[in-house]
Amino acid sequence: METSKVQAYMEQEQAQRAMLESLLNRLSDLNAIGAALSSERDIHRLLENILTAAKKITNADAGTLYLVDAERQVLTFEILHNDSLNIRMGGTSGNPIPFYPIALYHDGVPNLAMVVSYSVLRGETVNIPDAYIAAGFDFSGTKKFDAKTGYHSRSFLAVPMRNHDHEIIGVLQLINALDEKTGGVKQFSKDDQQLLESLGSQAAIALSNRRLIQQLEELFESLINLINTAIDDKSPYTGGHCARVPALTMMLAEAANLSKLGSLGDFNLTDKDRYELKIAGLLHDCGKITTPVHVVDKSTKLQTIFDRIALIDTRFEVLKRDAEIAMLRGAQSEQAFAAFVRQLDEDREFLRRCNIGSEKMQDADVARVQQIAKYPWRNTRGEDADFLSAEEVENLTIRAGTLTAAEREIINHHINVTIKMLEALPWPNHLKNVPEYAGGHHERMDGKGYPRGLTREQMSIQARVMGIADIFEALTAKDRPYKEGKTLTESLQILGKFKENGHIDPELFDVFIRDKVYLTYARQFLKPEQIDEVDEGKIPGYTP
């Protein structure tokens, strides 16, 4: 008799020890789950992890996670798992959940007939041993599901997800607790309930925090877009650039991420890295908000607030008038007058062509402008003066483009302003490289860029990626005031020469061509007539 008592006592003690060990293991799992939930950035994966964790710590066969839509006053199906039926819906599964949301109210009356809506409205856990004999709830939908699938939904456990503000943001519903030894369905235990309530609270806090971070990120990006909109409002040309460069930057970065070429073999982008580079791309020209609009939009050499070529046209008309008066007074013959007028008309047309800036000026053209500048005429004050001012001569003799050296300096200064603005911000750790990425897109691999004269070795791969994206966008841009967008072939010819002269990163250039990043970008952003057939074998600096 004594032996049997001792045996029974030992078995009881062993069972209690096993239960305690199991509970401790589940508590340990709960702590690990909480830490994992707090580090997950993706909302869909976070929701999946919550449901997976809930099923694991309670050994449940199935479960659904619902979120509260306060505006519509409904519970929406977010994640649905059923192991026995091998069902995965919602989240990252790619399978939509075909069920209608569950109303929290019917004509203003609380919907207490459904387990999950009751749990949310009452803020209580609902633990049901057997749905087929339980009273007080409507399980007609459950029974129809069982009849259709052959499943038998028995035990239910619904726990409201309450965050740190005591707001219920969702509900976890688990179905069919499984006995670890027999595999049979049993009721969810008190320990199951307490563990799930703890998980529900952790999950709600993690989800609320993730939503808050997401909202702050959206607000931050909206503020960035606000800055770019302000730049766009000043200059529509810059605004398009601010949108396209980030897109091309991410295309090339993803291609580089897959490449094993040279130093790119160790280049691996995480989701954090992608977001950081995206933000840098959006902000790479934020300093242009301070650039004078008449410089940014200078479409002709004489343009400031308006194109001053019209003033010079007027001066030509004044010279013609004075010559005509001289002829009528007998101081000049009609033939000499006609020849002089023809010369003035030719000179006027010549200056108009020079003003456009579409062709590179030759030495003879510069000399002709300087000669025209010396035509004598009387200015508005009645004083003898040169036909063109020194400032007008400087502009009209710009060798290429429409900007003087001083104006180019003003344009280039935007990168200094960009760096100054970005370095002044208190960036969190996951965005701390934004100033370096955004501030390096005008540097060159040979150290001849600006503003800091960095070499390739001193720059991150991300900054080098942005440098190529910035140049290629500028070459192909169809909305610049001073030029038409170049074709792919023309742009890649120029970009290839940039590789050869040490301007851009050679490995990234090869990825840009080999993976046809240029074509992916072109199909999204360029006009059809710009997308010509590219012979990659003829691109300078590239070997197919």
| 400-418 average pLDDT score | 86
Percent of the chain with pLDDT over 90: 57
| 412-439 average pLDDT score | 93
Whether 3 shows a pLDDT value over 90: the answer reads: no
Whether 32 shows a pLDDT value over 60: the answer reads: no
pLDDT at residue 20, as a whole number: 55
Q: Model confidence over 283-338: pLDDT tens digits?
A: 998 888 888 877 777 778 888 878 888 989 988 898 898 889 888 888 888 899 99
CATH topology of domain 2-212: Beta-Lactamase (3.30.450)
**Mean pLDDT (the chain, rounded):** 88
| 468-482 average pLDDT score | 84
How is the chain split into domains, by residue range?
Answer: 2-212, 235-295+406-538, 309-402
Task: Classify 428 in phi/psi space as left (phi over 0), alpha (psi -120 to 50) or beta.
Answer: beta
pLDDT at residue 478, as a whole number: 79
User: Long-range CB contacts (< 8 A, 24+ apart) of 73-80?
Assistant: 73/103, 73/104, 73/105, 74/101, 74/102, 74/103, 74/104, 75/101, 75/102, 75/104, 75/116, 75/117, 75/120, 75/170, 75/171, 76/101, 77/101, 78/47, 78/170, 79/47, 79/48, 79/50, 79/51
pTM over 0.75: no
Tell the residue number behind the tokens 């709600």, with chain if given: 204
pLDDT at residue 191, as a whole number: 87
Q: Kindly report whether the peptide bond that precedes residue 426 is cis, defined as omega within 30 degrees of 0.
A: no
CATH class of 235-295+406-538: mainly alpha
Q: Which of 294, 219, 238 is nearest to 418 (CA)?
A: 238
Q: Which of 99, 89, 90, 80 is nearest to 144 (CA)?
A: 99
Percent of the chain with pLDDT over 70: 91
The least confident of 14-23, 177-186, 418-427, 500-509 is 14-23
Q: Model confidence over 192-227: pLDDT tens digits?
A: 998 888 888 888 888 888 888 889 889 999 999 888
Cα separation, 299 vs 294, in Å, equals 9
pLDDT band, very low/low/confident/very high, at 511 (cuts 50, 70, 90): very high
Whether 480 shows a pLDDT value over 80: the answer reads: no
- What spatial distance separates the first Cα and last Cα of the chain, rounded to whole Å? 90
Q: Model confidence over 129-140: pLDDT tens digits?
A: 999 999 899 999
**What φ, ψ does residue 109 adopt, rounded to 5°?**
-95, 130
Tell the residue number behind the tokens 């240029």, with chain if given: 518
Q: Model confidence over 257-271: pLDDT tens digits?
A: 999 888 898 999 998
Residue 80 pairs in a beta bridge with: 64, 89
| 457-482 average pLDDT score | 89
Q: Model confidence over 517-541: pLDDT tens digits?
A: 999 999 999 999 999 999 999 999 9
pLDDT at residue 83, as a whole number: 96
CB atoms within 10 A of CB 31: 12
pLDDT band, very low/low/confident/very high, at 11 (cuts 50, 70, 90): low
One fold for 2-212 and 235-295+406-538 = no
Q: Model confidence over 250-259: pLDDT tens digits?
A: 999 999 999 9
Q: Model confidence over 145-162: pLDDT tens digits?
A: 999 999 999 999 999 999
pLDDT band, very low/low/confident/very high, at 13 (cuts 50, 70, 90): low
Whether 492 shows a pLDDT value over 70: the answer reads: yes
Whether 41 shows a pLDDT value over 60: the answer reads: yes
pLDDT at residue 50, as a whole number: 85
> Between 25 and 469, where is the model more confident?
469
pLDDT band, very low/low/confident/very high, at 173 (cuts 50, 70, 90): very high
